[in-house]
Structure 1
Amino acid sequence: MSTLTIAAVQYDIHWLDQQANFNRLEQLFADHFRENFAADLLLLPETFSTGFCINKKGVEEAEDGGIALAWLKKMAKQYNCVVAGSVLVSQNDKKVNRFYWVCANGTVEHYDKRHLFRLGKEQDHVAQGQNRKIITINGINILPLVCYDLRFPVWSRNRQDYDLMVNVANWPAARRHVWDTLLKARAMENQTWVVGVNRIGEDGRNTSHSGGTTIIDFSGKTIISAVDNQQQIITTQLDFSKLEKFKHDFPAFLDADEFELQ
């Protein structure tokens, strides 16, 4: 198995101001990477261009592409890597919370958020995603998840079809301990690397976010984390031969229960 270099971006999202977010991110990229950019995958939080403004009209992207997707393509080409983050996209009379994965050559894949946050009435404005997705980069299979998906282990159960789980979020500070706990639980139960990418700051609904952007290994050990309440990009290289050896020495996955999603 090969290696994959991950860069995860934790920042304070401007509410309903796409251009301000693009400007802020471009400055963060420039400050962090300077002339030494070396990442295969650059990850942004959930609804990175607008904030979690699910009940606002006119903020969603067109389904065949919009401003945020064009910007992702620009960044992917500029930094010669996959750039990924979620945006709200128009679909029929609702939106979908779409996690875009954009390659340097302009190729686009996506995953639509499956589990909608009932407490925030997300289901009233956002259509439920129907398909579990595996995305492959440099031979590494990746399971993309968005925020609330983290609470549902059946959806993220490793069928030995992925090596890395990525969750991008607007996870509130009030439930931060749940975020920290479940990221480690998902890593251990699925014997996989896990990357969690969360925002900081207060959104337009006065909800506070403290971050918790982190990279965790298959044993539940934290490899690197961003500083709470601070804009930061964390970067590390994952060596998937270590995962392969771990699973060879401790093949708990062979004793997993069979199941089917309905």
Structure 2
Amino acid sequence: SMKSHVLAEPVSDNTITTLRKQAARYQFAIAGSFIARENNAYYNRGFFLTPQGDAFFYDKHHLFRPGRESEYFSSGNRRVIIPYCGWNICVMVCYDLRFPVWSRNVNNEYDLLIYVANWPSPRRQVWDTLLEARAIENLSYVCGVNRVGTDGSILHYDGGSAVYSPKGEKLTAIPDEKECVETISLDLSSLRTFRE
């Protein structure tokens, strides 16, 4: 949403506080994004919360200029690599997917790349293709999580959430047009073998 001034909240506010409690209660990590307010600026901020109480944040670097996102949000300037359960994880937000240099996995810095997105149906083929490409070119697993439904500007979102292997194989069969929970096991040792 471009209503950053209405929807934004500091990291210490309700969204992150509630999700941290859920991560601890159910003993799993949670990744997503929210509109953050910090030092009189607004950020499209990705997050990764662990059940141990650790919180990692990433501010979207590539703002969607055709949608005038840069008029409402500030751009982040650093990537974040998150150590979690033996994995190194990189979280990015939406339009960052279109910029392969930004996600380049130099020296295998990360094993799993997560994109949280608001990617509309008319560009769905691009979403699918770029997720697969990022997995192949970075020799990592890629998880793309996209919304479903419509927004205030009548754009439609059909989902398309998916996980890809480093070979570009789609590992999930998540149905379009509905919210759901999907569980998949990823194999770090096979990833390391594949990279050799």
Q: TM-score with structure 1 length normalisation?
A: 0.72
Give the paired residue count: 195
Q: Is the 8 A contact 1:134 1:142 kept in 2?
A: yes
Q: Is the 8 A contact 1:77 1:105 kept in 2?
A: yes
- What is the root-mean-square deviation of aligned Cα atoms in Å? 1.1
Q: Secondary structure, in 3 states, of the residue corresponding to 1:123?
A: helix
Give the whole-Å Cα distance in 2 for the aligned partners of 1:77 and 1:227. 29
- Partner of residue 39, structure 2: 92
- Larger relative contact order (Cα-Cα within 8 Å, sequence gap ≥ 6): 1
Superimposed CA distance per residue, residues 120-153 of structure 1 (whole angstroms, 9 cap, x where no aligned partner): 1110010000111101111101111100000000
Give the whole-Å Cα distance in 2 for the aligned partners of 1:92 and 1:111. 16
How far is the alpha carbon of 1:84 from its aligned partner? 1.6
- What is the letter of the counterpart of residue 67 of structure 1? N
Q: Where do residues 57-96 of structure 1 align in structure 2 (5 Å cutoff)? A: 57-63=5-11, 65-96=12-43
Q: Where do residues 21-170 of structure 1 align in structure 2 (5 Å cutoff)? A: 53-63=1-11, 65-159=12-106, 160-170=108-118
- Partner of residue 246, structure 1: 194
Runs of 4+ in 1 over 2 A off after TM superposition: 54-58, 91-94
Q: Is the 8 A contact 2:135 2:165 kept in 1?
A: yes
Give the whole-Å Cα distance in 2 for the aligned partners of 1:244 and 1:106. 28
Q: Where do residues 157-236 of structure 1 align in structure 2 (5 Å cutoff)? A: 157-159=104-106, 160-236=108-184
- What is the letter of the counterpart of residue 98 of structure 1? R
Structure 2 stretches of 5 or more lacking a match? none
- What is the letter of the counterpart of residue 123 of structure 1? S
Give the whole-Å Cα distance in 2 for the aligned partners of 1:225 and 1:112. 29
Q: TM-score with structure 2 length normalisation?
A: 0.96
How far is the alpha carbon of 1:58 from its aligned partner? 2.2
